[in-house]
Amino acid sequence: MKKIFLFVFLFLFTLHKVTSFSQRTYHVYIASALPENPSVKLNFHCQSKDDDLGNHELLPGQNWSFKFHENFIRSTLFYCDFEWDGKQKTFNVFDDSIACIKQAKGDQTDTCYWLVKSDGFYLAYKVNPPSWALTKYYDW
């Protein structure tokens, strides 16, 4: 009887830990710091294997965000296709639960802030970061 009780207790404890882990909320922001030109907007489309977040457009100074919970096996991946002024770029905006993307180095975060500039794409771990907190990962 003690073995069954212990087994049930450990099973419920493990289930609680797994459920608690999966409830962590991640936030991904896309912000435009592109040059002012009302006729040229940043267009993008973001999705994962399970969720299509649709098409969006931003003017300079605007941002858009989404939030999600990572899947049980920690393999959640979101990518976006970007277009601006005749340029196009596609990359993962989230594929790592520690530093947003696998090639980034940083402390554990739940905020992935992508700032789009005319020379490329910058990542920071807080909303509206100072310029020193931005790291460039992709060119157009």
Q: What is the pLDDT of residue 3?
A: 63
> 8 lies in a domain?
no
Q: How many CB atoms lie within 10 A of CB 110?
A: 14
Compute the average pLDDT of residues 86-98.
Answer: 95
> 78 lies in a domain?
yes
In Å, how far from its chain's centre is CA 136?
Answer: 15
Q: How many CB atoms lie within 10 A of CB 37?
A: 11
- Res. 2: pLDDT tops 60: yes
> 62 lies in a domain?
yes
> 16 lies in a domain?
no
> 4 lies in a domain?
no
- What is the DSSP-derived secondary structure letter of residue 99? T
- pLDDT-wise least confident of 59-68, 104-113, 117-126: 104-113
Q: What is the pLDDT of residue 14?
A: 52
Q: What is the pLDDT of residue 4?
A: 65
Count the domains in the chain.
1
Q: How many CB atoms lie within 10 A of CB 58?
A: 18
Q: What is the pLDDT of residue 1?
A: 65
Read off the pLDDT band of 9 (50, 70, 90).
Answer: very low
CATH classification of the domain holding 99: 2.60.40.10
Q: What are the C-alpha distances in Å from 45 to residues 53, 79, 89?
A: 7, 8, 11
> 68 lies in a domain?
yes
Cβ atoms of residues 137 and 122 within 8 Å: yes
> 75 lies in a domain?
yes
pLDDT tens readout for residues 10-69: 554 454 445 445 578 999 999 999 999 878 999 999 999 999 999 999 999 999 999 999
Q: What is the pTM for the complete model shown? A: 0.82
> 13 lies in a domain?
no
Q: Which domain holds residue 84?
A: 25-138
- Res. 6: pLDDT tops 90: no
Q: How many CB atoms lie within 10 A of CB 32?
A: 21
What does the block give as tokens for 90? Answer: 């596609």
- Res. 5: pLDDT tops 60: no
